[in-house]
Every structure is written in structure tokens, then in C-alpha cells.
Amino acid sequence: MVKSCNKVIKSSSQCKAIGRLLNYKDLFYDEIRIDEGHVEIYAHGRKSYSRCPICGAKSHSVHSHYVRVLSSLPLHGKQVLIRLTTRRFRCKNSKCPRHVFSEQIAGVCEHHDRRTACATELLENLLLEVSARKGAFLSRPLGVPVSASTCLRILYRIPTAYVPEDDIHHICIDDFAFRKGKTYGTMIVEALTHQPLELFEGRTAEATEKVLSKYQHLETISRDRACAYAAAIEQAHPGLAQVADRFHLMQNCSRHLSSQLKISKQIIRDELLAAFPSGLPPSEEERQKSENMRSQKYFEPIRRLLEKGLSEEQICKRYHYKRLVVKECMREISRDNRKQSQQRLDEILEDKKLRIYVANPEYEVNRNTGECSERNIQMTRIIEASKTLSDLRSCYLAFQEVFKQKKTELLDRWIEKYRLSRLKEMASFSAGIEKDIVAVKNAIIYDMSNGPIEGLNNKLKAIKRQMYGRADYRLLMLKMSLSKTG
């Protein structure tokens, strides 16, 4: 058994040497005790006076004293406790309501703290990046042990970053989910500095209007397509420039395209069967499978025997072929091209990547060489053979081109062209764009988007999941504002 190594240092020179490590200039070190697990430092203030925290009067009159025990940063892995003899002084100002006050030594700790300022700073930096429970666990090896509840109290004392409301001119607004489909909140971010400004519960027009009314110097607001936010902005700041987010516009267009594909599935099938009467071109996988079967040595002999009129049973008995092999050859020979074509067509129409090929002709195209994959070539042939698929591709690419060229007149032409289109979903999307035409045109004019808030939304989700059920709005706002890693 290893015995504890106790050592008491009373020499002033040795105490000063250890005191220099702590770097508290206003402390006088009386004694230092070193045990196996921790270091105890006995100290008191150097100054013979203190100032009243209320009136600021200087006082030399000592009323009494007591000992404060402060946790500090560890020394060589040993926990450090500072036993600070603290004096109480009498306030000599007769007009001051405070008669007795305790001295506060600058730079050591704050009022009522049980930790030094440097230990508190260490815990604050740690707790901004991890949850309270993890922080409580990590605080033990760091030499400043605290509980999870204390970790939360430390966090709540940190002041949030303050941005003057008069300096805020451009903001982004979006919602986030505490529980998807059930509980939602709203986040407001300064567009230029990406600084979170507000986190509040709900995403209704009433709640949003109440918060936005605080910011009286706004010039532009970027938002998604939500009607509630549009109504709230109009109520709080009539005539303010609203900018529809380009990403959400393209996302909405893509969703309407997917819906149109589902609605027009039978029409597209008929168009493709009419365009390829002899059957759809086989896929690479089917063609490879067929070639592998026909390249087998037994395929041609079995095919000749079947042409002579021999049955499957006769071939197996006379020529000793396995029944499974004969069946595979018969299946390959008697395959119905029409049924095979329809089956392949159904697979193409059910393929989730069909929307990607329709919306993006460059999908699976090598950017350096321009070489197209066989799948891309096949899908391009299919899309060009169907009028519905071709129209959908033209509609999507034309809408995308509006934002690439940044011309509002192109948007007007696009709406005019597709507002009465036979593609019902795209006509519906066009009508929605027309209702929100000012915000959509602002998305073309202004170089502004919801990009900053989307990135912070990911950070918020990571923090929210890290903190489990203790993630209230105030705590989320603290970590969103001050956390460096997310």
C-alpha cells in the first residue's frame, strides 16, 4: 500500500514560487500543503483596505473574517484548493445602506463563486461544446469536479452575444424542428455576419410578427416559401423587400416535377411503347446476362435439340443435362420481347433516379472528358422519346436558367408559358410563383439567400441532439451564439 506523501511549505520564497504559477498578484500565500491527490493553498489579500461595492468608499476597518474554499486549475494533475481568508469591512459612509461588506480580490473569483475565475473560464469553454452530463464527467479528470446541474448554472450565467438592433439591416428567417412533425421553432440570423439573433417557439405569423417588430431598421429579409413568414413580414414591416430563397424555389420545382411524374406515369408508358414498338433497348445488366447465357457451351446444343421437338424431360434423360440448365435455356429462347419491354419500362418509371435524369442532363457525365455513362445515354433516349418527359425537362431547365442568367423578364416568360400547361403540377407551381412574384423576382435581383441559416440549422440539430431533453431555447441560443465547433 502506498502511503500519502504529505508536505507542508511555509517558506515565503517557496510559497512565492508556487504562487507565480497561479499568477494572482493580489494574494499573499501563507502556507501550502501538498498531499497525494490535491494541493491546498492558504492565502489572504495583500491590501489592507477594500472598497464598498455600493458607494465605492475605501475602508480600513475590519469587522471580521471567514474562509472561502475555491477550486482552481490543477497543478501537475493534482486538484488545487485555495483556502482564502476573506475579511469583512465596515463601510464608514453614513449615507450608504451597506454597513458591512466582504472584500473581493480582483481577478481571483466573482461573488459567491466556489471556483477561481480561470477554473470557471475553463468550464465555460468546455460546456459550450459538450452536454452538461459529459461536462460533469470530464470535469473530474480536469481537476475541477462539478455536477451536471452546476454545469447548467455555469452556462446560464454566460452573457449571450449582443448585436444592437439599430445595426441589423439584413436577416434570414427559417424554422427548425424539436420533434419533426410535432414541435417547431423559428430562428433568425443576421445575413452578413451569420450571427444568430433570435430563437423562439412556434412558426406562426403572430409569433414571428411580434419578434420582427423589434427590428425597425430592416432592409431585406430572406425566407423560404412559407406563407406564415410572408404574412408576418408584411404585417410587421409593410413594403419591406422579401427575398425568396433560391434553393427552396428549385426544391419546390423538383417536388412538383416528381408529383407530375407519378400523375403522368400511364401517359409516359404509352408514349414510350409507341416510340419503341419492338421493345425498349435493354439495360446493360440485362444485355450482359443474356450474353453470358448464350456464350455457354451447352446453350447451342440444347437450342438445336429443342428445335427438333424434344421435350425438357427427353433432353435430360438422353443427354444428361441438368434440369435447371435446360430450363434456363428454354427461358432465354422463349422470352417474350413485348412482356420484357413492359417489365423494363415499369422498372424505369418506378426508378427514383428518373427525376434526377429529367432535371439534370449532365448526371453521370464526366466533367473532365465529357464522357457519358451507358445509363445516361439510355435515359436520354427514353426522355427524348417521350413528349411528357421532354416537356418536364424543358420546364425545369428553363426555370433554372432564370436564376443563372438573373433576368426577371425570363421569369415572366416562363410563367406565361406554363401557367396553362397540360402538366397540371407545373401549372400549379407556376401559379404559386405568380402569387409570390415580388419575393421571387427579388431572389433574382438580390445576391442573398438562406444559405447561412441552413448551415446554422445543421449546427442547431447537432446541439439539440447532444443535449437531449434539457435543450430549452435559452440554452440553445447560448450554444448557437458561442459554440465554436457545434
- Interval 4-13: pLDDT, tens: 557 777 767 7
pLDDT band at 337 (very low <50, low <70, confident <90, very high): very low
Q: Are the CB atoms for 80 and 35 separated by under 8 Å?
A: no
pLDDT band at 401 (very low <50, low <70, confident <90, very high): very high
396 has pLDDT over 90: yes
20 has pLDDT over 50: yes
453 has pLDDT over 80: yes
Average pLDDT, the chain: 84
Q: Tell me which architecture the domain covering 165-245+449-482 has in CATH.
A: 2-Layer Sandwich (3.30)
* Residue that wins the pLDDT comparison between 428 and 12: 428
Distance (Å, rounded) from C-alpha 225 to C-alpha 393?
23
- What pLDDT, in 10s, does the model give residues 130-139? 888 889 999 9
- What pLDDT, in 10s, does the model give residues 104-146? 888 888 888 888 888 999 999 999 888 888 899 999 888 889 9
Q: For residue 29, what pLDDT is reported?
A: 83
Q: For residue 369, what pLDDT is reported?
A: 85
pLDDT band at 87 (very low <50, low <70, confident <90, very high): very high
pLDDT band at 3 (very low <50, low <70, confident <90, very high): very low
Q: Are the CB atoms for 58 and 47 separated by under 8 Å?
A: no
Q: For residue 4, what pLDDT is reported?
A: 54
User: Which percentage of the chain shows pLDDT scores above 90?
Assistant: 26
279 has pLDDT over 70: no
Q: 86 is written with which cell numbers?
A: 476573506
3-state secondary structure the chain: CCCCCCEEECCHHHHHHHHHHHCCCCEEEEEEEECCCEEEEEEEECCCCEECCCCCCEECCEEEEEEEEEEEEEECCEEEEEEEEEEEEECCCCCCCCCEEECCCCCCCCCCCCECHHHHHHHHHHHCCCCHHHHHHHHCCCCCCCCHHHHHHHHHCCCCCCCCHHHCCEEEEEEEEEECCCEEEEEEEECCCCCEEEEEECCCHHHHHHHHCCCCCCCEEEECCCHHHHHHHHHHCCCCEEEECHHHHHHHHHHHHHHHHHHCHHHHHHHHHHHCCCCCCCCHHHHHHHHHHHCCCCHHHHHHHHHCCCCHHHHHHHHCCCHHHHHHHHHHHCCCHHHHHHHHHHHHHHCCCHHHHHHCCCCCECCCCCCECHHHHHHHHHHHHCHHHHHHHHHHHHHHHHHHHCCHHHHHHHHHHHCCCCCHHHHHHHHHHHHCHHHHHHHHHCCCCCHHHHHHHHHHHHHHHHHHHHCCHHHHHHHHHHCCCC
Mean pLDDT value of segment 382-398: 92
- What pLDDT, in 10s, does the model give residues 24-41? 778 888 888 888 878 888
- What pLDDT, in 10s, does the model give residues 169-222? 999 999 888 878 788 889 999 988 888 888 888 889 999 999 999 888 899 999
Mean pLDDT value of segment 412-420: 91
Mean pLDDT value of segment 98-103: 90
Order of strands, sheet of 170-179, starting from the edge strand that comes earlier in the sequence: 196-201, 183-190, 170-179, 220-223, 241-244
53 has pLDDT over 80: yes
- Count of C-beta atoms within a 10 Å radius of residue 445: 11
Mean pLDDT value of segment 418-424: 89
Q: For residue 373, what pLDDT is reported?
A: 82
Q: 212-216, 392-396, 441-445, 463-467: lowest mean pLDDT where? A: 463-467
Q: 281-295, 316-330, 352-366, 370-384: lowest mean pLDDT where? A: 281-295
How far from each other are the two terminal CA atoms of the chain, in whole angstroms? 45
Domain boundaries defined on the chain: 7-114, 119-156, 165-245+449-482
Mean pLDDT value of segment 254-281: 83
